[in-house]
């Protein structure tokens, strides 16, 4: 999995978001380290839509928060599993890194 895709999945893990919100969430989650551009985001989104990891959301947020022209995206169960698997893989890698003293214990 590419890091763009994982970041998007993470951003969508907590709640449904529209495209620009995903960009902001990814930036927030990574402490501003990863700043995606819309073109990159949507290419990844398009792929994940086709693969069935994310889907367009039918539900809308409360009216006062909604921007009606927006499209919202959510994780599908498949997407959640893929993200979990990737997280587990990374965790194992982190464990290995720790065991080899590449990382100090948090």
Partner 1 sequence: MRDRRLAWWLVRLYPPRFRRDVGLALVDALEDQMGARRASGASSLGARLPAIADTVGNAFAAWIDSAGSGAAKPPRPKGRTVLDKLLQDVRYALRLWRRRPGFALVAIATLALGIGANTAMFTIVHAVLLRPLPYDHADRLASVWGRTPTYPRGLLSYREYRELRNKPGTFEAVGLYFPQSVNLTGADEPQRLVGSFVTGSFFDTLGLNAERGRLFTEAESAPGTVKPIVVITHQTWQRRFNGDDGAIGTTLTLNGTPVTIVGVMAPPFDPRVVPDAGYFIGADLFLPAALFPAPRGLEAAGPVMLGIARLAPAVAIARANADLDVIRRRLLADDPQPQADRTLVAEAAQETVAGASRPALLLLFAAVGVVLLIACVNVSQLLLARAVDREREIALRAALGASRATVARQLTVEAALLAFASAAAGLLVGRGALASLAWLRPPSTVPIPVDMPLNAAVLLFSGGVAVLVSLLCALVPALRTARPNLARVLQAGFRRASAGGRRTRDVFMVVEMALSVALVAVSALLIESLLAVQRAPLGFDPSNVLTLEFRLPPTKYPKPDDIARFFRAAIERVRAVPGVESAALVRAVPFSNNGGTIGYAIEGRPSVDAASLPQARLHLVTPDYFRTMRIQLLRGRDFTDRDDLQSPLVAVINETFARREFPGQDPIGRRLTTPQTPTPITIVGIVSDAKHYQPTEPAAPQLYAAHYQVPLIFCSLVARTRGPAMSVANDVRKAIWSVDRDQPVWGVLALEDIVARRQGQWRFLALLLGIFAGVALLLAGVGIYGVTAYGVAQQTHEIGIRLALGASGERVLREVVGRGARLTLAGAAVGGVAAIALARLASAMLVGVRPTDPAALAAAVLTLTAVSLAACYIPARRASRVDPVVALAEE
User: Does residue 38 belong to the site contacting partner 1 (CB under 8 A)?
Assistant: yes
Residue 34 backbone zone (phi > 0: left; psi -120 to 50: alpha; other: beta): beta
Q: Does 68 bind partner 1 (CB under 8 A)?
A: no
| Nearer Cβ to partner 1 (32/102) | 32
Min dist. Cβ of residue 1 to partner 1 (A)? 6
- How far does the chain reach from its first CA to its final CA, in angstroms? 26
- Report the alpha-carbon distance of residue 78 to residue 74 in Å, rounded: 11
Residues that bind partner 1 (CB under 8 A): 1-2, 18-20, 23, 37-43, 45-47, 49-51, 69-71
């Amino acid at each position: 999995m590419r890091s763009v895709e994982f970041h998007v999945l993470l951003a969508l893990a907590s709640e449904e978001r529209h495209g620009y919100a995903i960009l902001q969430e990814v930036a927030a989650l990574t402490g501003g380290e990863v700043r995606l551009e819309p073109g990159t985001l949507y290419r990844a989104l398009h792929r994940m839509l086709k693969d069935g990891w994310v889907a367009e959301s039918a539900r809308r947020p409360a009216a006062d928060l909604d921007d009606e022209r927006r499209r919202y995206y959510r994780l599908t169960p498949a997407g959640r599993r893929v993200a979990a698997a990737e997280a587990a893989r990374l965790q194992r890698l982190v464990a290995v890194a720790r065991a080899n003293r590449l990382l100090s214990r948090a």
